[in-house]
Amino acid sequence: MIEVTNLTKKYGDHIAVDHLSFRVEKGQIYGFLGPNGAGKSTTMNIITGYLAATEGTVTIDGKDVQKDPEEAKRSIGYLPELPPLYVDMTVREYLDFVAELKKVPKKERKQQIDEVMEMTQITDMQQRLIRNLSKGYRQRVGLAQAILGYPEVIILDEPTVGLDPKQIIEIRDLIRKLGENHTVILSSHILSEVSAVCDHIMIIAHGKLVASDSPENLQKLMSGSMELDLEVKGSAAAVKSALQEISQIDRIEENTEASKNVAKLKVISKENADIREQVFYALAEAKLPILEMTHAEKSLEDIFLELTEDVAPTQPEKHKLFSKRKKPEAEETVTTKEAESYASHL
């Protein structure tokens, strides 16, 4: 239902989104995963009609978003990175205001707002000023405004950023529930987060798509080869020769720090092979005692890093991916001006 083709966004000569193409089918939960600066928010802003693309197209049910951004906004509920909240309104006043902007029929407004508040568990907060809400509750109000009007597609940009673990679980459950009746796209820079709720994961780095698959298939890709770190009493040459027999070994790397009598090696298996027993027996037979054998399984994070680090940016960036340098913290609230500009687009 959403088709992104060759989507490119340039800021000056910096390419934030680099010829991105993917399809989003109805009724599934999609995870848009990538490190900070990968281009997630930019892509979401284009899909939702808030930002113009430099090149490429986005269509929703065949309709071009760039040509009719209003139509896109009608069929998509959006929680941007900075939720567009009016801090001087109460929760109920704000949702009433959003419902009006979204042209929810007057007769249905009250009931819909009640339902949406119930879903996001903010009913008890409806008379509070948004200014006085915690970050977690503000995020829920942001979610509530995205859900209002029950659009077919709901797009959530890093919906759990800044929340505590309990709140993260609650939002995750809510996203699952939303997925039953809506198409949901959510972005995150945390792999475990998207693999927990999504039917399909798209990984992007430097604005490019590096993987697009089900969590199960990515998991398979991720389990990949096994790496064993070995410390063996004996010479590296003797160990290597003893291990030669094992056909499931892909390669052996020698650690140069090894001392004279103790060989330190890294043994890497072929796809999905568990070689621990074979290594044990082969070395025992050769009378080469294993002093230590540790199994470093690749974590989801390792694979994510591998996948995203392999991608060269089209335009060299000064900072490395995942560098310690953090993006400036997003402000918790937007200024009235920003909220107004968002509201004018609703």
Q: Where in 11-70 is the site for Mg ion (CB under 5 A)?
A: 40-41
Q: Where in 2-21 is the site for ligand ADP (CB under 6 A)?
A: 11, 14, 16
45 or 120: whose CB is closer to ligand ADP? 45
Contact 224, 303 (CB under 8 A): yes
Residue 42, token pair as written in the block: 């930019």
44 or 113: whose CB is closer to ligand ADP? 44
Interface region with ligand ADP, contact rule CB under 6 A, candidates 33-41, 112-120, 164-172, 177-185:
33-41
CA 301 to chain CA mean position, Å: 12
Out of ligand ADP, Mg ion, none, what residue 188 binds, judged by CB under 5 to 8 A for its kind, is none
Out of ligand ADP, Mg ion, none, what residue 16 binds, judged by CB under 5 to 8 A for its kind, is ligand ADP
81 or 254: whose CB is closer to Mg ion? 81
Verify binding: residue 39, ligand ADP, rule CB under 6 A.
Answer: yes
Shortest approach of Mg ion to residue 252 CB, angstroms?
42
Phi/psi region, residue 150 (left: phi>0; alpha: psi -120 to 50; beta: rest), is left
Verify binding: residue 188, Mg ion, rule CB under 5 A.
Answer: no
Shortest approach of ligand ADP to residue 317 CB, angstroms?
7
Instruction: Out of 4, 30, 31, 42, point to the residue binding ligand ADP (CB under 6 A).
Output: 42
Residue 279, token pair as written in the block: 């290594």
Which among 150, 89, 163, 60 is positioned nearest to 343, based on CA atoms? 89
91 or 334: whose CB is closer to Mg ion? 334
Interface region with ligand ADP, contact rule CB under 6 A, candidates 35-43, 63-71, 87-95, 138-146:
35-43
Phi and psi, residue 294, nearest 5°: -120, 145
Binding residues with ligand ADP: total (CB under 6 A) = 11
Verify binding: residue 145, ligand ADP, rule CB under 6 A.
Answer: no
User: Which residue has the closest beta carbon to Mg ion?
Assistant: 41
Please list the alpha-helical segments (H only) found in the chain: 40-47, 69-75, 91-101, 106-119, 135-147, 165-181, 191-197, 215-223, 236-243, 276-285, 300-309, 336-345
User: What is d(CA 263, CA 254) in angstroms, rounded to the nearest whole number?
Assistant: 8
Phi/psi region, residue 244 (left: phi>0; alpha: psi -120 to 50; beta: rest), is alpha
13 or 277: whose CB is closer to ligand ADP? 13
3-state secondary structure of 265: strand
User: DSSP character for 61?
Assistant: T
Shortest approach of ligand ADP to residue 123 CB, angstroms?
31
Verify binding: residue 36, ligand ADP, rule CB under 6 A.
Answer: yes
Contact 227, 268 (CB under 8 A): yes
Residue 69, token pair as written in the block: 């951004």
Interface region with ligand ADP, contact rule CB under 6 A, candidates 37-45, 113-121, 278-286, 328-336:
37-45
Residue 88, token pair as written in the block: 């001087």
Q: Where in 62-121 is the site for Mg ion (CB under 5 A)?
A: 81
Phi/psi region, residue 37 (left: phi>0; alpha: psi -120 to 50; beta: rest), is left
Shortest approach of ligand ADP to residue 177 CB, angstroms?
25
Residues contributing to the site for ligand ADP (CB under 6 A): 11, 14, 16, 34, 36-42
Residues lying near Mg ion in the complex (CB under 5 A):
40-41, 81
